Structure formats: C-alpha cells, structure tokens
Amino acid sequence: KAGGLRIITEEDLVAQLTPKQREDRVRLYRQINQAQATLDGSKRAKLWTVTPIRAATVKVLGRGDVRKEGDVVTPRGLSAIQTVKADFGLGPDSADRDRRLKLAQWITDPQNPLFSRVIVNRVWHYHFGAGIVSTPNDFGFNGGKPTHPLLLDWLAADLQANGWSLKHLHRLIVTSATYRQASKMNPQAAAVDADNRLLWRKSPTRLEGEALRDSMLAIAGKLDATIGGKGYRDMREYKFKGSHFYDPIPQTQAEQFRRTIYRFSPRGAKRTMLDTFDCPDPSALTPKRAETTTPLQSLALMNNDFVLLMADAVAARLERNHTAADAQVRQLIRLAYGREADRQDIGLAIPFIQEHGLAAYCRVVFNSNELLYVR
C-alpha cells in the first residue's frame, strides 16, 4: 500500500489462485522454461569481424558529383586550424589503425586550440546549466558566441597547465565566487541581462530526472551508493514474434535502489518518470538536454508508483526516529532541503499531516520547487 493506493504485484495475483491453479501455473512455467532452454541450446552465435588491411581510396568530388572524381585525398587534419600541423605524414594506402591513431593525436595535441576549450566549456555547462559557448557541440560559425572569451581561454590554458586534470577543473569551478553566488533576483541586473549570460547571479537549475530519483531514495534512506557492479532493471522483458517488449515493474527490491546511472536502458523501453523529466534517449547523442515544464511532471510527483513507495518509506523512517510531528517535519526538511525548518514550515505542515497523514506531506515535499531546483 502506497500513499493510500494499493499497487497490485504478481505475488498478489498468485495469492488469489486456487491450489489447483497454482499447480497448473508451476507446471506450465516449467514447460515454458524447458522449451526455452531447448531453443536457446539449438542456437549458435556466429561472430565475424573484418579488419581492413588498407583503407578505401577517397577522391575529391567535383561539386559533390560522384561522377566527377578529382585528386586522391590523403589522411589529414583541418587546415583551418593552423596551430597544429594538418599533414599526418600518411599516404593514401596507409592502414586504418594508423589513420585513427594520427587523428587522435591531432585532436589531443596541446597546440590544438579547440580541444581544451570544448572540454572546459562542457564542464562549465554541467555546473551552470549553460556553457560559456551556448552550443556545446558547435564552436563553428553556426554555433553560439562565447560570452566570456578570455575566461574560456584562461580555463583552457589552466587545464593544460594542470596535466589535463578534470578533477582540478571541477574543484576550480565549484570553489569560485561565481559558482557560489546566491540566486537572489536583482531587478536592475535583470533589466540589462534577463538571461543571466553575464553571470550576475546563480541561475536556478532543475535537477535532472536521474538526480531527482536518487534524491528520493536518499531522503528515504534507501539509496545504494555502491560504485560499479551490476545494474538494475525496472522493467520485465518478454519476446513476441521476434520482437522484444518491456513492461514496467514496481521498484520494491533493494537491488533496484541503486543510483539511476546504473539503470539498464534497452531501446524501446519506457522510463516513466525519467521520460517525464526530459531524460534523453540513451541511444541518441544529446549535448544539451531540453528542460520542459508540464502538468505531467506534477502528476508524476504526486501519483507515480515509485514516488508513492518512496513517500511511504520516508514516512516510515521519520516515524521510527520521532514520535512528535514537529520533530518529524524538522528531520524531513533537513533531509530534503539541507536546512533547518522555520516557523512557517512547521505551521503549514502540522495541520496538513493531521488531516492527510505524514506520507501525503512527504509527497508535497517531493513536489516542491525547493527540492526540484538547485539555487
């Protein structure tokens, strides 16, 4: 039972069967498993790999016309980037592995002005919600212009000077005065720079879907923060006429309480609450996530089965630790918001809990902007 609603599981359905029906169910499942084992045993996996000894010859095409072949193209870098030698020193008959190695060396050459700038901009984007260049995957003419070009250059040079250490870069950003600003609105600054491109305050950023799920698990005291290891599944897979289908299942087992980054994400499987909060398709490259605000998000945070289960788990945790309602509210505010509850929090929470219950109040906290946004 979760938040006043009962989630019917497969075990509940089996419990309603007669003894004869249970025996038939076990027998039929045994036959299915035997047939599947026989079928799997008859299959032989065959794997081929083709390693080209020599790369295909590529020629310049006149205006892109395949019938107008010109000179043979040799492996090279971009001549527009003049600080790095474009010539790889390879002939048109060079091996594929040699071409790949030279390309990797050319991209990561310390004299390549783009490589360090791109990674620095991407890390900045992760921390601030927007990069110094607003298009993380496009530094060309069609991309955005840097709002702070000198800062971008300085960070890129600092990254190289510190051995390309991303840990150093993260520490440098999160300990900066710019990152540690408050999100308080300044009407005069907003009139000049409404989009906060000049970084006059901390722009509120919404938690990603994965971080939101992890936060609920952490508040409930259920989060498994183990690094590495086997992933978890929140769907049941079945096959029909050669196709794979996935049905969501309740997340009630301890092995399902891992961080969301370890979720098994097959193509075509629905991700319920994660999809609602703009998590991109894992099979697609997404340099910058969309951030939408829809009624479905509020509905998910009030009625999704995982949210209901976590609300009950949080309520049970609070009731184990405290008997007084005000103490329960204080601990919940501390766990969810990272601050102490004030008089207004207590005054609004107590009457609500008395009328609707502690689990319902936990759902309200899950739906609050103070939990959803980093300010």
What is the share, in percent, of the chain residues with pLDDT greater than 90?
Answer: 52
Average pLDDT over residues 266-279: 81
Q: Could you tell me what percentage of the chain is helix, strand and coil, using 3-state DSSP and rounding each to the nearest 5?
A: 45, 10, 45
With bands split at pLDDT 50, 70 and 90, how would you rate the model's confidence at 344? very high
What does the DSSP 8-state code read for residue 229? S
pLDDT tens, 360-373?
999 999 999 999 99
- Cα 51 to Cα 56: distance, rounded to the nearest angstrom: 12
Tell me what pLDDT residue 50 has.
73
pLDDT tens-digit readout, 41-89: 776 767 777 766 677 788 889 888 989 998 888 888 888 888 888 888 8
Give the residue-averaged pLDDT of 110-133: 92
Pair 58, 73: CB distance under 8 Å: yes
What confidence tier does 271 reach under pLDDT thresholds 50, 70, 90? confident
pLDDT the model gives residue 133: 94
Split at pLDDT 50, 70, 90, the class of 4 is low
pLDDT value of residue 7: 66
Q: Is residue 2's pLDDT more than 60? A: no
Structural contact between residues 273 and 279, judged by C-beta atoms closer than 8 angstroms: no
Q: 249 vs 315, which has greater pLDDT?
A: 315
Q: What type of residue sits at position 38? A: T
Question: Nearest CA to 115 among 152, 149, 156?
Answer: 156
pLDDT band at 314 (very low <50, low <70, confident <90, very high): very high
| Lowest-confidence region among 62-71, 165-174, 262-271, 304-313 | 262-271
